[in-house]
Every structure is written in C-alpha cells, then in structure tokens.
A and B are shown apart, each in its own frame.
Chain A
C-alpha cells in the first residue's frame, strides 16, 4: 500500500510538497501570463505600427480585440492544463534546497507498496528535512521581468492610439522592376493631374485630354508598364504640339503684314503692335480705325482699307477671316455704306482678337508639352537605371556563363528603348533619337546611347578570345632564332615549361585539376643550375 496516507509518517513530506507545488504553479502562471500578454500586446503593436507606416488593410479594431481576448483566454486555459505533480515539486525542492535528490527519493518510495527498514529510514530522514524546509523561502513568488516588457508594450500601444496621424507615413520602395511603375507612381500621377487641372482655358485638345485621362486611370489601376505610360505621354504631347505649325504660319503672315504696313502713317501703330506680337493691341488699333473711318474722307479711307487688304495677303489660311472682313469693309465703302464698312472693320478687329486667343492658347499648350517632356525624361532616366541594375545583377550572378545572357538582356533593353513598341528600328540603336511612333518628337535617345555603350564594352571584353593564340614556344624561341637573345643558356627553362603551359592553357583542364597538373610539372621540372 502506498505510504502517502493522511496523518501517516509521510504526511509532513506531502504537505511540504503541496506547498511547494502551489508556489511553483503560481510562478508558472505569472510566467505564462506575461508571455501571453507580451504576445497579445506585441501583435497589437505590430498591427498598429504597420497601419501607421504602410497602407495595409487591417480588420476592425473590435475584431482585433476580440481575437486577442480569445487567444489570451485560450492560452490561460491551456496553461491550467499543465498541472504539476508532487514529483515535480519534489524535484524543485531538491534542486532549490540542495537536498541531493532526497525528496525525489522519498516521493518515489511513498508511492511504493513494498518497503524495508532502509526505506523507512530514508523516509524518516526526509520527513525531518521537510519539517525544516520553508516553502516560501525555497520557492519565492517571483514577478517575471517580462511583465516590465508588458507594461512598456501597453504604454506604447496606448501612446500610438493617441497619436494623430492622417495616413501611412512611409511608402516602401519596391524592388526594381521595369514592368511596374514602382515607387514614383504617385508622383507621376500627381504630375499628370497637374497638367490636366492647369488646363483652365481648355487648352488641351480632346485627343490629348483623352490620352492623359487614360494614363491616369491606368496609373490608378496599377496595370500600366513604363513603356505604355511613355507612349501615352508621347501621343498627348504630339496632340498638344499639333497647333504649332498653324500658329507659326499665322505669325509669319502677321509679320509680313507688319512689314507691309510700315510705310503708312495712319497704320503705323497697327504695324508696331503686329511687330511686337501684341495682337490684342493690334485689334484695339483696328477698332480705333473703325471709329475714325467716318471722320476720314472716302478716298483716304478707301486707300487705308486697300492698304490693309493688300497687307493681309492672298493665300494665308490663318488670315482668312481678317481678309474677308477687310474685303467686306472695302465693298461697303465703295457702296458709300460707312456704317457697314465700320462694322466690317470691327469684325476684322474681332478676327485679330481670335488670332490673339489662338496664339495664347497654343502657348499654353506648349507649356503643358514642356511639362510632359520633363516627365518623360525623368521616367526614361529611371528606366535606364533599372536596366543597368539588371545588367549588373546578371553579370554578378554568373561571371562566365551569364555574360552572354547579360548581353542578350541588355540588347533586348536597347532594342526596346530604341525601337519602342514597334521594334522596327533598323538603324544603329545609338543613333536613333527620334520617337519610334514616327511623330518626330523630342529626343529620347540618351539612355539608349548609354546602354549601347555598355553593350559595346561587353563585346569588347570578349574580343581578345577571338584572337589567334600564339604558341608560347615561339615567344621564347623567337629571340634565339633571330640571334638577338642575351639570356644565358643556363637560365633558359626546360621544355617542360612549354608542356606545362600547353596543358594548362591550350587544352581544356577543369579549374579544380589545374593546380594538380601544375604541381606535376613543377615536380618533374629539371633542377636549375646554380
């Protein structure tokens, strides 16, 4: 029968072991509690900090708290399942009290049915020892240091909750990838949005507006490659610069008109305004002339209108409205209809105003075009940097074998950059600086030139391998053949040197065996005379 009955000789041992067991379990509970709190608070802190730094989707706060509480309660329940036995308390008593396994032995013999005088003696001694032990002193209740960490975590979580932050603080840089727009995506988005919003006077053509809006949508959806964005920008830029030709022709016609009017005294202010490019001023001058027309005598008025009409030219499409208005004025004057003539001259002034507006609008478009140009150059520089990084990665990955692969990658990049989407560029890549879409737009070839230079450098590195190899024996014996050698006979190495060189350099010997071959030839080399 087990010897651990209540009131028996071993009851003192059992009581002491139970006290120790309670202390041990309390300490274990505090330890696990601190671990559970650390885990819960640490998870909350990670979620909170992540939410502050990067835009990630997080569940509602209530869900997080409920999940944390369930985890915490589960953890505590699980820890309660790990109830210790008295044997463990005996082990703790032995180790903490330096009892040389006395309690473990006593606990074992207490559970055994058979005994002996020696076992009884051992239990008797263990009982006396147990009577001397103080459980509180043996296993003091210890507050885990981890609870301090819990306090710090709790304070940090609370502090972060009070921190007023509008949105994510950081935008983590993604890996270099030519197919994605990467970390500057938002900047580009804002640039294009600025161009669209700056279009107060409705300067953009419908096509340009459509191209830019399509680019904005694609950027928002993050499904646009760098090349596609560049193409859309080029198309929008081409649309914006389309009116330059017309405005330029108009400017030329107005210049010619100004030169033609320079000789007239009455029309000198108009000529000066035209020469200065101030079309609004020119329209005002024409309105003043319209008012003065009734005060002029008919001949003088007719002469002035005729001069204006001839200065407006005959074949300038941009001056069509002005020319028609002046002809109507001349016709009305010929019919002695002064008011109609004045009205026609007013219409000519309106045509001049219209030309002024057209010129101003085109200037606005040109400004937008310049912004797009700057944006494209910025994107091309990033593309070039990515390409070079890819080439470096490919080179370092495989020094020997992947050199050709890196060439192929760089060549592909060169072709893509130089040839754009069409890829039908036939001339030397480095010479191509025009837009492959055929719009003849701004220079886009700087990055391409650098890549081609890199590619050529790689090609140059390979060229020496193609050169004809020279027999090492020829190098050594050429001087002797020409009887110009000054080397003493004793200092000339034996033929094994050539065989060694031949074996190592000409024949294919794996690198790991080269030192072996070299050692062999060094071993058989004839000793040099002193």
Chain B
C-alpha cells in the first residue's frame, strides 16, 4: 500500500511540475511572440540549476525574454551591461568604508549586482576576460569570494548571458572554461512574418502587455528537486555517454566528422547536461524514465558550445550543429 500511496504522491508531483511549467510558458507567451524553443530552453536550464547563453543579432528580443522570465518567476533580478571598462568589482561588489551614525568608520562588504536570483549579463563578450572570469566562481560554486571572505549566493542563482555573433570588433570571445559553465547555448532566430505582425500588434499600442508572476522561489526549488529525482536506465545513460565521446577526436568512438573538424569535444559537464536535460524532458512528457529521444532532443543546445573546432573546421566554416546532427544520426540507440 505504501508504494501505491507514494505512487499517487509522485504522480501528483509530476502533474504539478508539468502544470507549473506550462503556466510559466503561457505567461511568458503573453509578452514574447514565438521563440518557444528559447523559452523552453531557458526554463529547463533554470530547473536544471544551469545557466543560459543567448546568442542572436541585436533587436530580436534577447533582453526582453530574460526580463519577462524574471517577471514571471517573482525572483530578484539584476542586469549588468558588459562593457570593456567594466571591472570585476562592479559585478561581485567590494569592501567599502562605512560610517555609522556615531561617526565610527569601518570596512563593510558592498554586494554587487551578482547577488540576485536572475542575473542578465547583457553582451557578455564586450567585457574583458578578467571581468568575464568574475562570473566563473559564481556560476559553478554559487558563491563569491572577495578578499578572504566567501559569500554564498541565494538559490536559485540563474545567469542569462547574451552575446551578439555579428560584431567582432571590440569583443572578447568567451574562454572555453566559461563557455562550459553554460548549460545551454540558445540561438535566437529572426522572427517570421506572422510573428512580426504579432510583435507589431503588441508593441505599437498604448498599452503593452505585462507578464504576471506565476511561480515563486520555493516552487522553483521544488521543481528542481523533482526534476533530479527521475531515474535513468544504464543503457540510456550509456547512450548519452557515447554521444559525448563521439565528439572527442582522439577516442575510438569518435565520429568521422569529429576526427576531421573538432579540436576538443564536450566535457563531462556536457554529459551531465544531456542527462539532466533528458530528465526534465521526460517529466514534461509525463514519463518517469528517460528515453533516448529525450537525450537527443536537447543535444544541440547542450553541446554546440562545448565542441571546439580545429583550424580546418574554422576554415570550412563548419557549424558544430552539423557535426552534432551527424553524430545523432550515426550513433545507434541501445538495443537492450
């Protein structure tokens, strides 16, 4: 009987997870037109304790998406506009002199904008590598060390960084170590004509639509816990590992395209992304087990920024998505 009760409880948690996820999506859709994949990817990253790198040309709503997500989730939101003269202290904060009412002066830590739940790092590739690296510890460890003091960031901590793929002048490409810390790299496409009509309709009137808050912090943390509870069979996990190894040019599992065009493949973080993303995908499909198709479904955003091309790949302008698609097509699913 215990199992039955537990099963009912778990079934209700799954239903709640799916329902809440759908509520957030619907609310965001009241402001954002289209971009369903981007919204799904952003929410999955949030629920997987990851961070998202949004890439797209200017003016297609990158910042708007992030701001809307923050509005819907009722979380603390900060925005940092990355510029070449931005310093690490501008992000994490610094010790400053405080003067009390009695005139006493003492050093105190002034928190930077990173102490928030949702951080929008706008045009992250415009800051110098030194400043970019200020995000490294925060993104991975969820803590900030200033001087000898380590300050823990309050969960959930979710970084949404944007970058413009067109402008190369005055930009600093993100180092591989930092790229690897992003759960997904999402590419925002230019809207279609139908979507453009809807955007015009919504944004050229007197009153623009506003998203309402539908989820609070505790609900998000509960969803995170549910997502990680989903079991995965060894064969499916093995499939995710084989997909990852196929991106490594020096392994026996390497795909022919990998051997030709790839310098470094995805790290174990990439496999973690595949598995956790697969779990959330399974939950959203109403299942309590991960299928191979769940792994495949989000392989492109999970691994495209983790596959580093070699000279030949750069010279031939090979898109990592092409290599990953070939790997997906050629690596067989487990038969048992």
Contact = CB atoms under 8 A, between A and B. Distances in A.
B334 A118 contact: no
Contact of B231 (A87, A90, A100, A122): A122
A121 B288 CA distance: 7
A200 to B, nearest CB: 80
B289 A122 contact: yes
B290 A105 contact: yes
A431 to B, nearest CB: 68
A108 B235 contact: yes
A497 B3 CA distance: 97
B7 interface: yes
A25 interface: no
B327 interface: no
Interface in A103-156: 104-109, 116-122, 124-125
Query: Of residues B233, B285, B289, which shows the largest number of chain A Cβ atoms within 10 Å of its Cβ?
Result: B289
B10 A117 contact: yes
A88 B229 contact: no
B150 interface: no
A98 B153 CA distance: 44
Given A104-B233, A116-B231, A88 B336 contact: yes
B260 interface: no
Contact of A91 (B288, B291, B293, B336): B336
Which bracket fits the contact residues of A? 20 to 34
A1 B261 CA distance: 47
A44 B141 CA distance: 73
A367 B23 CA distance: 113
A114 to B, nearest CB: 11
Contacts of B293: 100
A100 B289 CA distance: 9
B335 A124 contact: no
B7 A124 contact: yes
B148 to A, nearest CB: 41
B214 interface: no
A240 B103 CA distance: 148
Contacts of B3: 9, 117, 120, 124
Given A88-B336, A125-B288, A105 B232 contact: yes
Given A85-B336, A104-B336, A122-B231, A117 B6 contact: yes
B234 interface: yes
A118 B229 contact: yes
B335 A122 contact: no
Given A117-B6, A118-B10, A105 B236 contact: yes
A228 interface: no
Nearest to B230: A118
A88 B291 contact: no
Contacts of B10: 117-118, 121
B292 A118 contact: no
A105 B289 CA distance: 7
B195 interface: no
A249 B302 CA distance: 113
A102 interface: yes
B287 interface: yes
B336 A109 contact: no
Nearest to B226: A118
Interface of A: 9, 85, 87-88, 90-91, 100-102, 104-109, 116-122, 124-125
Interface of B: 3, 6-7, 10-11, 229-236, 285, 287-293, 334-336
6 contacts: A91-B335, A102-B287, A104-B336, A117-B10, A118-B288, A122-B288
